[in-house]
Amino acid sequence: MGCLLKLRLSAPEGPAGSRRSLAVALVLAAVLLYFAFRGVSWGELYQRLRYARLEVLVLVMVAFTCSYFCRGLRWGVLLSAVGRLPTLTVFWATATGYLGNSFLPARAGELIRSAMLARSTGVDVGYVLATAVTERVLDAGVLVLIGVVALTAVGELPAWLSSSMQVMAVAGALGLAGLFCVPRLEPLIRVVVARLPFGARRARVDGLVAKFLLGLRSFQDPARAAKFLGLTAVIWTIDTTAAIVCARGLDTTLLPQQAALLIAALGLASAAPSTPGFVGVYQFVTVSVLALFGIAQGEALAFILVFQGLTYVVTIALGLPGLWRLAASGRVGIVGGSA
């Protein structure tokens, strides 16, 4: 667990700060749940949940499993700048990350998956974390694009949604710009780092900065970029299809563009640190988005409760074995490169 300890020691918050962050997250979840469930018809919600078609929902869990596997493959594409890592090792690390995100606040799963993969492969943790950051920034940019295209299915947009999309579009553009510009500023960054008082740890810090910048540059290789974007298209197609199938299992109809907009909104809402497992966030966003298409509150809540619940089932089923396998295994090494 050495990598986990290093990440924890470098965190800016101590135990008191962590408790405050958790308290804020729980209050936010409670507020969002209140607004999401306010005025709901509990009878309608119960009836929709009661008559859910289980055989259809099993297909949704299969789709989620395929999506997680493709996410592991996609992360492996970015990681391959230092050599090819074992596919299953990256998959298990991806699963542990989603497990952490599902039950811990502040997207702690990103740190967990990076630390566990670095420990299992011997690849520098700074590099691994940089590829995870790169993946998240690129994902946000793609989701903004999906959301903008899907919004053509909606007539006049509510002011809150229009403003939110504008903010996310600007944030996505700035993130992508930073992703491509920061590695090009390496000489300046090294000068700044050289002037900081690191003392005996300077060599370690210099190496960490170099590996982190290498991770940020991983997408700039044309072949890796093409593979990454291809897998991204597959992932979000699977997730959109899973939403349509899940809705159908609850006798709700979601058109492809409606499902795409919802998935983009949920993805963007979960991109920033928020509540543990995005509880409250998902419910509020789903009710707000599906209302644009005339879908009743109880119908929308039944959908997201089942959709999120199935996500938890798959995440636990994959994340716990992944955590055990990575914690119990020794270093597996890399192929075709060195850390």
Is the per-residue pLDDT at 194 higher than 90? no
Q: How far apart are CA 160 and CA 90, in angstroms?
A: 38
User: What Rg value do the Cα atoms of the chain yield, rounded?
Assistant: 21
DSSP 3-state assignment of 295? Answer: coil
Burial grade of 147 (CB within 10 A; 0-12, 13-18, 19 or more): buried
Distances (CA, A) of 74 to 37, 68, 170: 36, 10, 25
What pLDDT band is residue 20 in, cutting at 50, 70 and 90? Answer: confident
Give pLDDT, residue 7. 43
Q: How far apart are CA 339 and CA 329, in angstroms?
A: 19
pLDDT in tens, 252-273: 999 999 999 999 988 888 776 6
What pLDDT band is residue 339 in, cutting at 50, 70 and 90? Answer: very low
pLDDT in tens, 302-330: 999 999 999 999 999 999 999 999 988 76
Taken in order 104, 109, 110, 114, the sign of the CA dihedral is positive
pLDDT, average across residues 43-48? 89
Q: Do residues 117 and 128 lie in contact, with contact meaning Cβ atoms separated by under 8 Å?
A: yes
pLDDT, average across residues 10-35? 71
For the whole model, what pTM was predicted?
Answer: 0.85
Is the per-residue pLDDT at 160 higher than 50? yes
Give pLDDT, residue 25. 76
Give pLDDT, residue 107. 80
pLDDT, average across residues 191-201? 79
Q: Show Cβ contacts of residue 61 under 8 Å, excluding neighbours closer than 6 positions.
A: 310, 313, 314
Helix (H) / strand (E) element for 294: namely none
Give pLDDT, residue 207. 76
Distance between first and last Cα of the chain: 18
Burial grade of 2 (CB within 10 A; 0-12, 13-18, 19 or more): exposed
Considering only residues 47 and 61, tell me which one the structure prediction assigns the higher pLDDT: 61
Weakest-pLDDT range from 74-78, 179-183, 227-231, 290-294: 179-183
Q: Do residues 67 and 139 lie in contact, with contact meaning Cβ atoms separated by under 8 Å?
A: no
Portion of the chain with pLDDT greater than 90, in percent: 41
